Amino acid sequence: MSKLPKASELAKSISYAFPKVSWMDTKPAFAPGTWCYPAKKDTMEGLGMPNPHNWNPAEEDWNLPENWEEIIYNALKDRLEKYRSLKVFLDICVRCGACADKCHFFLGTGDPKNMPVLRVELLRSVYRRDFTTVGKLLGKVVGARKLDKDVIKEWFYYFYQCTECRRCSLFCPYGIDTAEITMIVRELLHELGLGIHWIMDPVSNCNRTGNHLGIQPHAFREIVEFLCEDIETITGIQIKPPFNEKGHEVLFITPSGDVFADPGIYTFMGYLMLFHEIGLDYTLSTYASEGGNFGSFTSAYMMKKLNAKMYAEAERLGSKWILGGECGHMWRVVHQYMETMNGPTPACMETPKSPITGTVFHNAAATKMVHITEFTADLIKHNKITLDPSRNADKIVTFHDSCNPARGMGLLEEPRYCIQAACENFVEMPENTIREQTFCCGGGSGLNTEEIMELRMRGGLPRGNALRFVQEKHGVNTMACICAIDRATLPPLADYWAPGVSVTGTHELIANALVMKGEIKRTLDLRQEDLPGVEEDE
Amino acid sequence: MSTPQGTDEDIRSGTTLYAVLWPHKEAMVNRWVGVVHGSYPFETIGFLRTNSNRFANPVGYRTEEAAKALIEILFTDQPEEATLHKAVDEIIRVRAIQDFPPETAVGVVFALKDIVREVVSASGQGAACLRAMWALESRIDAVALMAFGAYARHRERLHLLKVEEHKRSHSQLMRLAMRKAGMEPEEAEPQKP
Ligand code: SF4
Ligand code: SF4
């Protein structure tokens, strides 16, 4: 009979001895809850992805194509030639460690390979051996290693534990962007037919029907009409949004999560109410019915393809510019990659100018696309809408900067300006957890899938921890955001780390407060719960 | 807290135990923190130990808070239950979703026993402290049960999160389907806000 372990042994009591194996030789254990389900072969075939095949991350054999080493070698060589940034990032890291403790996945898992510097080292070690002279000569001594199947598994494990949030790059003295490395490694994995279901299914749906869930035009329209019924119940105002109509000034595009999922729908209702109130000349599209771009979590090619669709629709409908809803990565794609990727916008499009205030959005001259909080902040600034913040008086609100708008496009003030105009109580989370330093929700870059809820909670710990702090200190009960993935990922995060805090889009708060011409006396908020003060009135 | 083997009275009157442990209070806090940190990979420990900002190092901070609350039970008659409960809850909330088997997630509480025993036996006062030690260990057991309860609660929450997320993500499709089936939305399952 073996000896019963002591409690301190169970807790793996501290050992000051040096570890027996280096990080290079420790292999990840594919425990359930830490890896995403693989993409289906059919889906990959339909999208024309390379080497589609059946495989299971939990099994030993991933059924890689026979010449997998050659594929990876060529694919990496190709990327190195194409992206100078990749070569620079791989060459210049001095391993100073400034990024090491900045990643939410490292903070939440305690796994050293989630330190951004080590994450990149997983690729760099292979690069060093095959693409640098010193690595070829000196091998392991300079941190070079041979590519083997375990390295591929490790890539899959750790590059799907990076949400491409770019927090680490903020602290790197050289500006090395680990998110870009992650994007490349995911591309390399795709060359071997390795992708995840939660990303590839939406990509495929988006490619065929226009949105992540693959909802067809008539159903999309019907659902929007339900939401209009709800608006009528709440405000007494009937709204009939135009669909696929040509000749309107603005094409409005938002992530489809705002149409299909709670609590995004309340934000969507908020957009419609605002447009109605200001008399915006706009149309929705059932084809460009997705602002999200899971292509950007797949490959540059797929990102380009899905992005192009929005502009093709603007051209078909003859829209002058695009107004974009509260989304995260859509903005990263538009702001950082769109111009290089897709080139100039269609000829019919113009630099956006608010028809209500006359403000010209020069910052959007290239992309012809304005973020809705920029648009609304401008309306508020020019007193074009009336807001009654007492309708949000029951809420003590904080704001979660979504990684992409914050670090990817510098959108920091506008959402705060909107929220503060619509709410009586606003509290910031601690300084080192907001704005450019914001912590990810733990589910960005296509990792917002249920099967890795446990991993998401680990990644969400730093955000949840800061939220818990303001909940306890200031009684915060509402966390606002401007991202549809956030609206999906933050409710469980809040539920686990700071139970009792609810999650809302910024335009839900705006619409609660929006005083509309011809509205009935409002007693309900957008969720059809009593507005503050209603009970006492009765 | 009272047990047949020893009572709070024994701890109090067992001034010997108190006297033995008191000079080692801080060392014991550090020792326990070390045990918790030791459950993480080697490369991570240095960071957990050195960064004291509660937002930049949430695990390290929560561990220290738990350690301080836990050590108080060695010195107080009536350990402040709410404080203790909170500290245990916050650290177990972290460990419940990290890559630990349940016994490692919760077992860190028991490590306090070993730490106390080491101090006592090094003092050579073991015999004089016996009854007080029994009582003390019962207290530690009670805290361990508290941690066990927290662990179970947090794991259950984790599974509920998946169910609720699924409902939220399909809320309007459900509504559409119900409408097609001629049912009113009120008949649909209530959604958690
Ligand atoms: S981009 Fe974000 S998730 Fe990825 S390594 Fe950097 S901090 Fe971590
Ligand atoms: S901060 Fe930059 S240079 Fe320093 S280790 Fe990280 S990636 Fe390398």
For A430-485, give the DSSP string. PGGGSGGGPPP-S-TTT---GGGHHHHHHHTHHHHHHHHHHHHHH---EEEES-HH
Span B14-25, pLDDT tens digits: 568 888 999 999
Using a pLDDT cut of 90, give the percent of chain A over it: 80
Give CA–CA dist B89/B68, Å, rounded. Answer: 14
Q: What is the pLDDT of residue B7?
A: 60
Name the nearest CA neighbour of A305 among A328, A286, A288, A285: A288
Q: What is the pLDDT of residue A15?
A: 36
Give yes or no for residue A178 CB within 6 A of ligand 1.
yes
A147 HSE (CA, 13 A, CB side): 21
Structure tokens at B77: 């008659």
Q: What is the pLDDT of residue B84?
A: 86
**Do A189 and A219 fall within a single domain?**
no
Name the nearest CA neighbour of A104 among B165, B58, B40: B58
Domain range enclosing A496: 203-513
Q: Is the peptide bond before A241 cis (omega within 30 degrees of 0)?
A: no
Helix axes B25-37, B111-123, angle to 10 degrees: 140
Task: Kindly identify which residue of chain A lies nearest to residue B43, measuring between CA atoms.
Answer: A112
pLDDT of A223 higher than 80: yes
Sheet holding A396-399, edge to edge: A425-426, A396-399, A478-481, A502-505
Residue B184 lies in a domain: no
Residue B178 lies in a domain: no
**Do A189 and A215 fall within a single domain?**
no
Determine contact, residues A509/A392, Cβ cutoff 8 Å.
yes
Residue B108 lies in a domain: yes
**Do A240 and A186 fall within a single domain?**
no
**Do A209 and A190 fall within a single domain?**
no
Residue A6 lies in a domain: no
Residue B16 lies in a domain: yes
**Do A507 and A392 fall within a single domain?**
yes
Task: Supply angle C-alpha A441, A442, A446, rounded to 5.
Answer: 105
pLDDT of A18 higher than 60: no
The one-character DSSP state at A281 is -
The one-character DSSP state at A387 is B
- Which pLDDT band, with edges at 50, 70 and 90, does A238 fall under? very high
Contact B98 A109 (CB under 8 A): yes
For chain A, what is the total number of helices (H) and then of strands (E)? 26, 8
pLDDT of B191 higher than 80: no
**Do A247 and A150 fall within a single domain?**
no
Residues of B with CB below 8 A from A266's CB? none
The Cα of B64 is separated from the nearest Cα of chain A by a number of Å equal to: 15
Residue A481 lies in a domain: yes
* Nearby residues of A323 by Cβ (< 8 Å), 6 or more positions away: A250, A251, A252, A253, A280, A282, A352, A369, A370, A372, A375
Span A344-389, pLDDT tens digits: 999 999 999 999 999 999 999 999 999 999 999 999 999 999 999 9
Sheet holding A250-253, edge to edge: A282-284, A250-253, A321-324, A369-371
Give yes or no for residue A310 CB within 6 A of ligand 1.
no
Structure tokens at A42: 């059919």
Determine contact, residues A333/A296, Cβ cutoff 8 Å.
yes
Determine contact, residues A419/A376, Cβ cutoff 8 Å.
no
Q: What is the pLDDT of residue A444?
A: 92
| Residue bearing the bigger pLDDT, B3 or B180 | B180
Residue A11 lies in a domain: no
What value does the mean pLDDT take over residues B33-53? 89
Span A89-148, pLDDT tens digits: 999 999 999 999 999 999 999 999 999 999 999 999 989 888 877 667 667 766 778 888
A361: helix, coil or strand?
coil
Q: Which of A85, A90, A99, A122 to mutate to test the pocket of ligand 2 (most atoms within 8 A of CB)?
A: A99
Its sign, for the CA torsion A480, A484, A489, A491, is positive
Its sign, for the CA torsion A362, A364, A368, A371, is negative
Residue A15 lies in a domain: no
Q: Give the domain-ending residue among A150, A176, A195.
A: A195
**Do A58 and A186 fall within a single domain?**
yes
What value does the mean pLDDT take over residues A477-504? 96
pLDDT of A53 higher than 50: yes
Q: What is the pLDDT of residue A524?
A: 96
pLDDT of A537 higher than 70: no
Task: Kindly identify which residue of chain A lies nearest to residue B61, measuring between CA atoms.
Answer: A465
Q: What is the pLDDT of residue A67?
A: 94
Residue nearest to atom 8 of ligand 1 (CA): A103
Residue A87 lies in a domain: yes
* Nearby residues of A482 by Cβ (< 8 Å), 6 or more positions away: A326, A327, A328, A371, A373, A402, A405, A411, A415, A505, A506
User: What is the atom index within ligand 2 of the atom nearest the CA of A94?
Assistant: 3
Determine contact, residues A368/A321, Cβ cutoff 8 Å.
yes
Structure tokens at A146: 């041979």
Residue nearest to atom 5 of ligand 2 (CA): A95
Number of domains in chain B: 1
**Do A395 and A429 fall within a single domain?**
yes
* Nearby residues of B181 by Cβ (< 8 Å), 6 or more positions away: none
Give CA–CA dist A178/A124, Å, rounded. Answer: 12
Across chain A, mean pLDDT equals: 92
Give CA–CA dist B66/B63, Å, rounded. Answer: 5
Domain range enclosing B100: 9-152
- Which pLDDT band, with edges at 50, 70 and 90, does A10 fall under? low
**Do A180 and A250 fall within a single domain?**
no
**Do A74 and A127 fall within a single domain?**
yes
Number of domains in chain A: 2
Per DSSP bridges, beta strands A478-481 and A502-505 are parallel
**Do A176 and A287 fall within a single domain?**
no
- Which pLDDT band, with edges at 50, 70 and 90, does B148 fall under? very high
Q: What is the pLDDT of residue B4?
A: 43
Residue B193 lies in a domain: no
From the number of C-beta atoms within 10 Å of its C-beta (0-12, 13-18, 19+), residue B86 rates as middle
pLDDT of A243 higher than 90: yes
Q: Which of A90, A114, A117, A125 to mutate to test the pocket of ligand 2 (most atoms within 8 A of CB)?
A: A117
Q: Rounded to the nearest whole angstrom, what is the distance from the C-alpha of residue B134 to the centroid of ligand 1? A: 49
| Contact with chain A for residue B190, Cβ under 8 A | no
The Cα of B136 is separated from the nearest Cα of chain A by a number of Å equal to: 16
In this prediction the ipTM stands at: 0.89
Helix (H) or strand (E) holding A323: strand A321-324
Q: What is the pLDDT of residue A11?
A: 56
Return the residue in A9, A12, A223 with the most chain B beta carbons within 10 A, the one to mutate for interface testing.
Answer: A12
**Do A169 and A74 fall within a single domain?**
yes
- Which pLDDT band, with edges at 50, 70 and 90, does A1 fall under? very low
Contact B38 A7 (CB under 8 A): no
